[in-house]
Amino acid sequence: MKVTHSLRGRLLWFLLAAIIIAAIAQATIAYRTARGDADEIFDYHMQQMALALRSSAPLSNTDAARAGIDADAENNELLVQVWTPDGVQIFRTVSRAQLPQHAVLGFSNVKANGTTFRIFSVQTSSQTVQVAQDMAVRRNMAGNLALRTVGPIAVLMPILMLVVWWVVSGSLEPVARVRTQVAARQADDLSPVSESGLPDEVRPLVHELNLLFGRVRTAFAAQQHFVADAAHELRTPLAALKLQVASLERAEHPEARQVAIGRLTAGIERATRLVEQLLVLARQEASAAGGSKAQQVALSELARRTIGDLIGVAQHKGVDLGLQHADEVSVNGQADALMILMRNLVDNAVKYTPPGGTVDVAVRGASIVVEDSGPGIALEERERVFDRFYRIAGSEAAGSGLGLAIVKAIAERHGATLTLEQSARLGGLSAVVAFPKHA
């Protein structure tokens, strides 16, 4: 676990390091301070003792005892010596150390007997009192004192570290929980992740993620619907094929066979067309960004090509198909998708116009207009015709019900609007695809 990549790691590392450093600093300072204070106290003690002793002379052991000096040889803490002005030692505590008379008054440090002594001397008219203490002993005692102040810090530090560890882990636990939740999911599980208990820094992220899940779920459901609808819609053409084959099997005379073969062929064409339309629709709905690159597409050119493709069918049916008006306009879009759009519109118009009728294609401004002299679409049906597989009652047998759904999908992708109205000129349907002005 690299420290820099883990929030938890980084927090723990720096916090624990800070705690340790602070503890060490605090301990060091406490130690030094304690030692300094101990020194002062000992000095003060020595001073008081010396001052207390100078008043009486000569000293007896009881006096010494009263002054707190322990004559016991075991206790080497303080060495007291008293001299007369002419240098005669009149008292000293029993000790193995033999200190020289020392002339400096007040506090001083003297090296003797392999160690350093702290000495305080005070002089009166009748005597000189000297109190000495072995610095090593003093340091030892001062050290013990200081350590006792540091003790609590040493105990608290690991406890504090544990608390920090616990708090950091606990605070980041919801994030770890979200991670486990998401990691445990199946590929198609798009239910929202629980946001409860998440810290403010993370919750917006999870919230946006849940919104994204919602969008994907909707798209996924739409796609599943599409597949189910498509499968259902294919049943009817396939049932027709099955029956048409049975009919062919039973046909006894050549004329009957011809009829049966003709029907079977028409049935296969219908099924094929349905599958093709399904694929086109699926691709159009799926690819928002995919597909060919956007380019400038000349609408009039598109119109001419479509009419060229469909003129055979129109003439065979006795429908007059033509380009009525063409502004030379280009729009930004995908050429093949726009071709499909145009083709579906014109194909619909030809299919639903009875023989002897007219279909006019026009490009006006940035709009495609396809008008026909057929029966048109009743007002109440104009919304529903865009539904997939919707067929108006009693309509043409060979339609798939997908043409307008495809046109709508492509128009929407290009930001264009699709309007169905009654054609004033021809009396049938007028289908207008209006592209945005700046395209």
Partner 1 sequence: MRLLLVEDDVMIGEVVLDLLRAEHYAVDWVKDGEMADTALVQSQSYDLVLLDLGLPRKDGIEVLRAMRARKDRTPVLVATARDSVSSRIAGLDAGADDYVLKPYDLDELLARIRALMRRSAGRAEPIFEYKHITINPATREVMVDGAPATLSAREWAVLEALIARPGAVLSRAQLEEKLYSWRDEVSSNAVEVYIHGLRKKLGSDLIQNVRGVGYMVPKL
CB of 269 to partner 1, least distance (A): 10
CB of 381 to partner 1, least distance (A): 11
Q: Hey, what are 157's tokens?
A: 């530090």
Question: Of all helices (H) and strands (E), which one includes residue 340?
Answer: helix 335-352
Q: What separation in angstroms does the CA of 70 have from each of 60, 62, 80, 84, 131?
A: 12, 10, 10, 22, 13
- Using the minimum distance from each CB to partner 1, give the nearer residue, 8 or 391: 391
- Using the minimum distance from each CB to partner 1, give the nearer residue, 326 or 392: 392
CB of 252 to partner 1, least distance (A): 9
Q: For the sheet containing 358-364, what is the strand order?
A: 320-326, 358-364, 367-372, 429-434, 417-422
- Using the minimum distance from each CB to partner 1, give the nearer residue, 95 or 244: 244
CB of 383 to partner 1, least distance (A): 17
CB of 309 to partner 1, least distance (A): 25
- Is residue 349 within 8 Å of residue 370, measured between CB atoms? yes
CB of 223 to partner 1, least distance (A): 19
- Using the minimum distance from each CB to partner 1, give the nearer residue, 41 or 379: 379
The candidate with the shortest Cα–Cα distance to 306, out of 321, 293, 316, is 321
CB of 348 to partner 1, least distance (A): 18
CB of 350 to partner 1, least distance (A): 19
Q: CA-to-CA distance for 271 and 237, rounded, in angstroms?
A: 5
Residues 6+ apart with CB under 8 A from 85: 125, 126, 127, 128
- Is residue 389 within 8 Å of residue 401, measured between CB atoms? yes
CB of 258 to partner 1, least distance (A): 13
The candidate with the shortest Cα–Cα distance to 99, out of 75, 59, 133, 52, is 133
Q: CA-to-CA distance for 249 and 384, rounded, in angstroms?
A: 40
- Using the minimum distance from each CB to partner 1, give the nearer residue, 237 or 357: 237
- Using the minimum distance from each CB to partner 1, give the nearer residue, 386 or 390: 390
- Using the minimum distance from each CB to partner 1, give the nearer residue, 179 or 250: 250
Q: Which stretches of the chain bind partner 1, using CB under 8 A? A: 232, 235-244, 246-247, 250, 263, 266-267, 270, 391, 393-394, 397
Q: CA-to-CA distance for 386 and 433, rounded, in angstroms?
A: 14
Q: Hey, what are 404's tokens?
A: 């307008």
- Using the minimum distance from each CB to partner 1, give the nearer residue, 242 or 325: 242
- Using the minimum distance from each CB to partner 1, give the nearer residue, 265 or 287: 265
Question: Of all helices (H) and strands (E), which one includes residue 369?
Answer: strand 367-372
Q: Quickly list DSSP for 156-216.
A: HHHHHHHHHHHHHHHHHHHHHHHHHHHHT--TT--PPPP-TT--TTTHHHHHHHHHHHHHH
